[in-house]
Amino acid sequence: MVDQQLAKSFESIGEEYDRYRPGFPDAAAEDILRKRVDAVLDLGAGTGKFTELLIERADRVIAVEPSVAMLDVLRAKLPSAESLSGGAESIPLPDQCVDAVTVAQAFHWFDRDAACAEIRRVLVPGGMLGLLWNHSDPDCTWDRACHRVAHPAVSTEADSTTATAADELPGFVFDHRTEITWSERITRKDYLRRWLTVSSFLAADEATRTAMVAELDRILDADPATAGRAEFTLPMVTEVFVYSRAGSVRGDGAT
């Protein structure tokens, strides 16, 4: 069940999300789109962090996002992409108009069955769906500890967001899963500001948020890899799940 309060917490941020959230490795886009396509939809596109990797891989790139603040950033950054206000459960596009749909860091916020039906509707027969998430490297103890501050219910071994990507999605055939490891250099200041763009921090009251940030500081001060450092290397893992559209949509004749 999607927590609507957490889901709506992103509606007021745009520039902060774009500045502090990580991007995605080019290999993730390559894994979903092995060849250039006519049209691709980036659904729940946010500020276009993954959309920008699609520009060179499709003749037509469409971004759909419900947050006005995020769309404003995307439109300024990627003027060549078509940007539309909308949600996954009611995509503002006609039937069978795109060759692929990508969802980066957002599928866990969707109503799964309704979103799958809509994604399948706008895909051409045999079209591809790519779901992807960034998450922390399980071997990075300090980043995992910080993740537990934001998401105390999540185990140390896995992120619950990727649990929404299953071998079976309604209307789709699972193709493959890829795990991409990479890293980025980040300042301590930006690392802390990144956490302030996470839903649990955004939805928290001021006292709770202050206590959460203090705990992040404590973790960074205690770990030898980050203690006393103004900048450090942050290892990341991107998980990619790829599916193909199965069957027909309301008698469209595809098999």
Please identify which residue in the block is written with the tokens 């969707």.
110
Burial class (CB in 10 A: 0-12, 13-18, 19+), 241: buried
Question: Residue 159: what pLDDT?
Answer: 58
DSSP-assigned beta bridge partners for residue 183: 235
Question: Residue 174: what pLDDT?
Answer: 96
Asked whether residue 200 is assigned to any structural domain, the reply reads no
Question: Residue 226: what pLDDT?
Answer: 98
Asked whether residue 215 is assigned to any structural domain, the reply reads no
Low-confidence stretches of the chain (pLDDT < 70) are 1-12, 154-160, 248-255
Residues, the chain: 255
Domain with 54 in it: 4-137+159-183+236-245
Radius of gyration of the chain (CA): 18
Report whether 202 contacts 13 (CB < 8 A).
Answer: yes
Question: Residue 255: what pLDDT?
Answer: 36
Question: Residue 10: what pLDDT?
Answer: 54
CATH number of the domain that residue 13 is part of: 3.40.50.150
Asked whether residue 255 is assigned to any structural domain, the reply reads no
Question: Residue 154: what pLDDT?
Answer: 59
Whole-model pTM: value is: 0.89
Asked whether residue 146 is assigned to any structural domain, the reply reads no
Name residue 160's amino acid. Answer: S
Query: How many domains are there within the chain?
Result: 1
Asked whether residue 228 is assigned to any structural domain, the reply reads no
* 168-214 confidence digits (pLDDT tens): 899 999 999 999 999 999 999 999 999 999 988 999 999 999 999 99
Question: Residue 134: what pLDDT?
Answer: 96
Question: Residue 253: what pLDDT?
Answer: 41
Asked whether residue 145 is assigned to any structural domain, the reply reads no
Query: Assign residue 144 a region: left if phi > 0, alpha if psi is -120 to 50, beta otherwise?
Result: alpha
Asked whether residue 167 is assigned to any structural domain, the reply reads yes
- CB proximity list for 178: less than 8 A, separation 6 or greater: 28, 31, 239, 240, 242
Asked whether residue 204 is assigned to any structural domain, the reply reads no
Question: Residue 170: what pLDDT?
Answer: 95
